[in-house]
Amino acid sequence: MKTKALILVLLTVFISAMMIQAQDQIHKKTSEVINCKVKEVGLDEIKYQLPEPNDDIIYSISKDKISRVVLENGQEIIFKDNFSDPENYIDNKKNAIKVDFLSPLTGNTTFAYERSIKPGRSFEVTLGIIGLGIDPGEVNPAGFFTKGGIKFIKSPDFYMRGMRYAHVLKGGYVKPEIAIGYFSQDDYYDSYYSSGTTRETIISGALFLNIGKQWIIDNAFLMDIYFGFGYGFSDGSYYEAYYYGYFIGDGSFPIAFQAGLKIGGLFK
């Protein structure tokens, strides 16, 4: 009798273990696991039953609280935030070429390239060709500056089902950015003994926090308005505030700022 009772207990434990293993599992974002029987996967929630005997109650849980569901046959369902799911933006052109619209009026021509990394995030690099533009001071500048930064595009303060970015590159943003410049230009001097022209070389750099907004039109054309402020430096031989790509104060107050209007086109 004892042997039969032991076999019966072991068989019960084995069957219970097999039943638990065969259950569906809902994995919450808090790492909690719900062993259950999934009854329905809806647009916003999942409905399930707990394995207690005679429990006919149907429970539901929001999909926002779930990371994945593992069904008893081994199939795994991964849940993504609809707002940040890249598949929702598959038709968006994620690359852009821009030009600073007013830069030729200030002695340089500036180009930029932007690429989406993921919804809400992109990187942008800029190249400015100094001397390719109007030279109002007639100092014959020649050189370049380059900038690089990451855009953090603002998301809504609240979320409802079906919401997403109108375009993956569209919206208000904050962009930390680093800039480096190098150029030379004529320096006129006139003293009691002599006068003439020398060529001076200027090296500069800046760290900016930019705030801006970008509009996308028909997934083809864009307009980007921005303003940035931060810290700047130069090699000390140049006493003007304008460094073609940005403005920098003197050594006693090394604040830097920039602003611009970029227009451009998008491509895949």
pLDDT in tens, 184-222: 999 887 767 777 788 889 999 999 999 999 999 999 999
Residue 18 has pLDDT above 60, yes or no: no
DSSP bridge partners of 203: 182
Which of 15-29, 154-168, 180-194, 228-242 has the weakest average pLDDT? 15-29
Would you say 243 and 204 are in contact if contact means Cβ atoms under 8 Å apart?
yes
Global pTM reads 0.79
Q: For residue range 32-75, list pLDDT tens digits in order.
A: 999 999 999 887 889 998 887 777 889 999 888 888 999 988 88
**How long is the chain?**
268
The residue among 23 and 117 whose pLDDT is bigger is: 117
Calculate the average pLDDT of the chain: 88
| Closest C-alpha among 187, 229, 205, 196 to residue 145 | 205
Domains of the chain (ranges, CATH numbers): 23-79 (2.30.30.100), 89-267 (2.40.160)
